[in-house]
Amino acid sequence: MAEVYRGMLVGNKEIFQLALDGKARKFALLNIVIVGILYGLSNLLGTLKTTPDLPLTDKFAIITPLIFSTAGVVTISAALIGFNLV
């Protein structure tokens, strides 16, 4: 798997052939999840700077970041679907 990501960075022809053959779906889905979680956590940090009284104690310590991460994955997925429709 590390070889695939390294190949994505340098632009190997074999990686693009995987995409053409339809075998790169799992890497695309993994990228969507990773970018979505990072996007959601960056939104969480921005929200914490804006509203410092956001509840992050007890059960909210898990629920709040989970909500933001899930919203990030949904947002990134919707953006990619929108790009494909255009």
Q: Which domain holds residue 64?
A: 2-85
Query: Which pLDDT belongs to residue 78?
Result: 93
pLDDT tens across 33-52, in order? 999 999 999 999 999 899 88
Q: 73: pLDDT confidence band, cut at 50, 70 and 90?
A: very high
Query: Which pLDDT belongs to residue 26?
Result: 83
Number of domains in the chain: 1
Query: Which pLDDT belongs to residue 58?
Result: 87
- Average pLDDT of the chain is 87
Task: Decide: pTM greater than 0.85.
Answer: no
Q: Is the dihedral of CA 70, 75, 78, 83 positive or negative?
A: negative
